[in-house]
Amino acid sequence: MHGLPSPLPLSVQGLGFTAGGVRVLDGVTFALRDGPPCLVVGPNGSGKSTLLRLLHGLLRPTEGAVRWSAPARQAMLFQRPVMLRRSVGDNLAHALSLAGIGRDERPARIAAALDAVGLPHLHDRPARRLSGGEQQRVALARAIALHPAILFLDEPSASLDPAATRAVEEIVAGIAARGTKVVMTTHDLHQARRLAGEVLMLHRGRVAEHAPAAEFFTCPRSPEAQAFLRGDILE
């Protein structure tokens, strides 16, 4: 999209990460292609968040590498949105300024992004005064305004109520439909079913299964995925 060469496929080779003597990720290898959302699932502590941070570049791998096909304009959404102590519009403007987007171009981008999340009326409101659900939607707008080729989301609805969760899911589906590659972690299998085009399951810091969503949910091959889908407790 946007006329730039696609950064995808993204190839991950033998990725390992150790923190404080704990092996969080070990020999993770997979490739991400253009297409519908990739949902990263797995039990707590399986390394989902760490993987996202390594892909996004917030953490440096201990071993292995993350290789993009071209420089990627990317954005990331966190479980708890971080809003600066200023208006919604200024929060978006700050992100655009950091991304090197010129002053003239910002208002239109901000307006379009707020429209996309259904919050154009909140433009002048102090961002910190919004509800958790609204803040997460503003965070989505902040990501959208950057026109990312790839968007990482780390459990974006984990602390939201059902209505806000639905709103976030609809927006994420819309972003994906417009051509941004979505990579999102979740511990909620129902959410994964609703959104996923492909599923990457992690277990104990390793890839247990990487498959198209239809295949993963109907006939999982790995015993870990089978147990996970049955609702067994995986350690």
Partner 1 sequence: MPGLSEAFGLALGLVLAGDAALTRIVALSLRVSLTAVLVAAALGLPLGALLAVARFPGRQTVIVALNALMGLPPVVAGLLIYLLLSRSGPLGSWGLLFTPTAMVVAQAVLITPIVAALARQVLESMWEDYAEQLRSLGSSALRAVPTLLWDGRIALLTVLLAGFGRASAEVGAVMIVGGNIEGFTRVMTTAIALETSKGDLPLALALGMVLMAIVLTVNAAAQLLREWAARRLG
What binding mask, one character per residue, do residues 124-143 give for partner 1 by CB under 8 A, x or -?
Answer: --xxxx------------x-
Decide whether 152 or 228 has the Cβ nearer to partner 1.
Answer: 152
| 26-32 contact pairs (CB < 8 A, 24+) | 26/204, 26/205, 26/206, 27/64, 27/206, 28/64, 28/202, 28/205, 28/206, 28/207, 29/64, 29/207, 30/200, 30/207, 30/210, 32/8, 32/181, 32/183
* One residue of 1, 19, 31, 58 binding partner 1 per CB under 8 A: 58
Q: Which residue in 29, 49, 53 sits closest to 186, CA to CA?
A: 49
Interface residues for partner 1 in 60-89 (CB under 8 A)?
A: 75-76, 78, 82-86
Is 194 a binder of partner 1 (CB under 8 A)? no
Minimum gap (Å) between residue 209 Cβ and partner 1: 28
Binding residues with partner 1: total (CB under 8 A): 20
* Alpha carbon distance 191, 217 (integer Å): 12
Minimum gap (Å) between residue 75 Cβ and partner 1: 7
User: CB under 8 A: which stretch of 2-10, 90-98, 104-112, 156-164 binds partner 1?
Assistant: 90-98
* One residue of 94, 166, 187, 194 binding partner 1 per CB under 8 A: 94
- Which residues here bind partner 1, judged by CB under 8 A? 53, 56, 58, 75-76, 78, 82-86, 94-95, 98-99, 126-129, 142
